[in-house]
Amino acid sequence: MEKLTGLDYTIFFIYFIIVSVYGYWVYNRKKREQLDSKDFFLAEGSLTWWAIGASLIASNISAEQFIGMSGNGFKMGLAIAAYEWMAAATLIVVAVFFLPIYLKNKIYTMPQFLRQRYNGTVSMIMAIFWLSLYVLVNLTSILFLGALAVSTISGLNFTLCMIFLAAFAIVITLGGMKVIGYTDVIQVFFLVLGGLATTYLALNMVSDQFGQTGMINGLNLLFTQAGDHFDMIFDRSNEHYLSLPGLSVLIGAMWVVNLNYWGCNQYITQRALGADLKTARSGLLFAAGLKMLMPVIVVLPGIAAYVLWKNGMFQTEMIRDGELIQDNAYPVLLNLLPSGLKGLSFAALTAAVVASLAGKANSISTIFTLDIYKEHINKEAKEQNLVWMGRLVVVVAMIIAIGVAPFLGIDKKGGFEFIQEYTGFVSPGIFAMFILGFFWKRTTAPAAMFAIIGGFAASVLFKFLPGFADLSFLESTGFAVVNPASGVYEIPFIDRMGFVFLICVIGMVLISYATPQHKPTQPLEVDAAMFRTSRGFALGAGLVLASIAILYYVFW
């Protein structure tokens, strides 16, 4: 298979230079302000709505989508797009109901909210949880999958690719959130342009394979050659039901997954926390619109790769150690692109990886510096010390990720599902703790502790329950199906998250009534007027929600 040519490297080098020079210009334009920790971590007041929206997508779309979600497209089809299209709906909910609370109460980090709403113990425990999750699951997965793709396409050493991606991300991250936010606009441009080019050419490859021409014919061939890959809602007989359990993706725990990710996640909300409410809401609406486009870029190429593979192409390239590796679909497809366009697609993939690494590293740095270092280690730290501590944490986190990523078995399960499932061990408890903390004043700190510890324990219990208990009695309810690989009845992990969320909410309510009502030193300001939106926002949100409804109606 052909590797990158001189033209491909030239296009990639142009991308690298544009991002680096622009980032350096942004950094130097207001260099003095970088000594301010709020500017370094939040780019307070300086990100526009389009920069916020672009940064949200650039930080979210990474190797787990390009490689992992495309691999899921190869394996199970368009149904995996539920994560993207339901995320668009979730962004609207977060913009309307979550952002006003954060901005009105000047909340800059998620542990800060927990400290203000509950107490320092809850905040400290969750800060450690988040740091562990971000470094050992998210950062490592993005780095591993990104390096796997870059290595497959370029032929370079895998470890060298990990080091290059980490170093590039560190350079961007050290400039602070302002540099990340504005360079993400360029990253998204390359991401979308290169991604659409890959989809266009993948569909043309399908046409050529069947003696036809044109993208439209290629798309029609996908429908005829892989019709089962265009079912959005799986029934219990589907072999992939454990991954996407029927209506749970529409009215079940997929909402827990998305609301926790987009509304209670430092990595994401940090982009909007330095802006005013109107700008922040517009940024999230822009991100929701971009989210609608993502399955075209990351899922359709995976389905195209499946059709090509089914008809005899790259039979050996998709196999490793005698097993079909779904995450090879996108890198293998890129290697079939013509010179020049392959470089553009390579730049798009690298942009997605680097932007996500930079965003994740900045959030790790923010939580450690503001919520652990400043609160518990050096309370008298000056602004300049906080900025340098933040930069040091970025470097250390990347080094840890490079060291542990190869040993986590990320490529065995499929990168996207790896992240979703292991994030799901803490998501239900976190979301329960936030949602009750927002909207029920009676919620107490012991109840929040139950959500953290009890939620994690319940997640572990449900995960390993099939190993020592027969769950066949749940088959008639749809909450347990046979795993085709093991022959054992299991609960789909999305449903597990729903059960754990309900357990956490019920436990928190009971504990809150059984313990003295907590009186925060800084009570949250929440009133109905905060949730009113402008007419323009309401119109845009309506268009997004109507589009989702139409897509599910067509591809049900």
pLDDT tens digits, one per residue of 272-330? 766 788 888 998 999 999 899 889 988 998 899 889 888 877 777 777 666 777 777 87
Flag whether 286 is in a domain: yes
Does residue 352 sit in the same domain as residue 434?
A: no
Check residues 367 and 454 and name the one with the higher pLDDT: 454
Check residue 207 and give its pLDDT. 92
Flag whether 20 is in a domain: no
User: What's the CATH code of the domain at 540?
Assistant: 1.20.1730.10
Nearest to 243 by CA among 72, 85, 67: 72
Does residue 362 sit in the same domain as residue 450?
A: no
Average pLDDT, the chain: 81
DSSP codes, 47-89: --HHHHHHHHHHHHSSHIIIIIIHHHHHHT-GGGGHHHHHHHH
Q: Which residue has the tokens 């409410």?
A: 277
Flag whether 408 is in a domain: yes
Each residue's pLDDT tens digit, 99-135 = 888 888 888 778 888 888 888 888 888 888 888 888 8
Does residue 508 sit in the same domain as residue 371?
A: no
| 435-454 mean pLDDT | 90
In this model, does residue 504 exceed pLDDT 90?
yes
What is the pTM assigned to this prediction? 0.81
Check residues 395 and 476 and name the one with the higher pLDDT: 395
Confidence of residue 36 (pLDDT cuts 50, 70, 90): low
| 439-447 mean pLDDT | 90
Check residue 39 and give its pLDDT. 55
At 399, the amino acid letter reads: I
Check residue 372 and give its pLDDT. 83
Quote the tokens at residue 235. Answer: 């029934």
Check residue 285 and give its pLDDT. 93
| 235-242 mean pLDDT | 84
In this model, does residue 447 exceed pLDDT 90?
yes
Confidence of residue 29 (pLDDT cuts 50, 70, 90): low
In sequence order, the β-bridge partners of residue 481 are: 490
Number of domains in the chain: 2
Each residue's pLDDT tens digit, 470-486 = 777 777 676 777 777 77
In this model, does residue 179 exceed pLDDT 80?
no
Each residue's pLDDT tens digit, 336-375 = 777 777 777 777 777 777 777 877 888 888 888 877 888 8
161 CB-near residues (< 8 Å, 6+ apart): 146, 147, 150, 151, 154
Does residue 366 sit in the same domain as residue 443?
A: no
Does residue 366 sit in the same domain as residue 342?
A: yes
Each residue's pLDDT tens digit, 248-273 = 888 888 899 889 888 887 766 666 76
Confidence of residue 162 (pLDDT cuts 50, 70, 90): confident
Does residue 540 sit in the same domain as residue 459?
A: no
Percent of the chain with pLDDT over 70: 86
Flag the least confident range among 78-92, 190-204, 376-390, 454-468: 376-390
Does residue 447 sit in the same domain as residue 373?
A: no
Does residue 400 sit in the same domain as residue 446?
A: no
Does residue 248 sit in the same domain as residue 291?
A: yes
Cβ atoms of residues 99 and 92 within 8 Å: no
Check residue 184 and give its pLDDT. 67
* CA pair distance 531, 547, nearest whole angstrom: 23
| 492-497 mean pLDDT | 86
| 144-157 mean pLDDT | 78
Flag whether 243 is in a domain: yes
Flag whether 454 is in a domain: yes
DSSP codes, 201-243: HHHHHHHHHTT--SHHHHHHHHHHHSGGGG-SS--TTSTTTTT
Does residue 407 sit in the same domain as residue 437?
A: no
Check residue 27 and give its pLDDT. 65
Flag whether 8 is in a domain: no
Check residues 22 and 515 and name the one with the higher pLDDT: 515
Flag the least confident range among 38-52, 348-362, 454-468: 38-52
| 148-177 mean pLDDT | 79
H helices present in 299-426, as ranges: 300-310, 329-334, 341-366, 383-404, 410-413, 415-423
Confidence of residue 94 (pLDDT cuts 50, 70, 90): very high
Flag whether 373 is in a domain: yes
Flag the least confident range among 35-49, 58-72, 232-246, 310-324: 35-49
Does residue 406 sit in the same domain as residue 442?
A: no
Check residues 444 and 19 and name the one with the higher pLDDT: 444
Nearest to 165 by CA among 349, 11, 388: 349
* CA pair distance 530, 115, nearest whole angstrom: 22
Flag whether 2 is in a domain: no
| 440-467 mean pLDDT | 88
Check residue 435 and give its pLDDT. 92
Cβ atoms of residues 302 and 310 within 8 Å: no
In this model, does residue 414 exceed pLDDT 60?
no
Domain that holds residue 330: 47-414+536-555
| 197-226 mean pLDDT | 88
Q: How far is CA 348 from the centre of its chain?
A: 17
Does residue 302 sit in the same domain as residue 281?
A: yes
Flag the least confident range among 19-33, 302-316, 489-503: 19-33
H helices present in 424-492, as ranges: 427-439, 445-449, 455-464
In this model, does residue 35 exceed pLDDT 50?
no
Each residue's pLDDT tens digit, 535-553 = 999 999 999 999 999 999 9
Within 10 angstroms of residue 252's Cβ, the number of other Cβ atoms is 17
Confidence of residue 34 (pLDDT cuts 50, 70, 90): very low
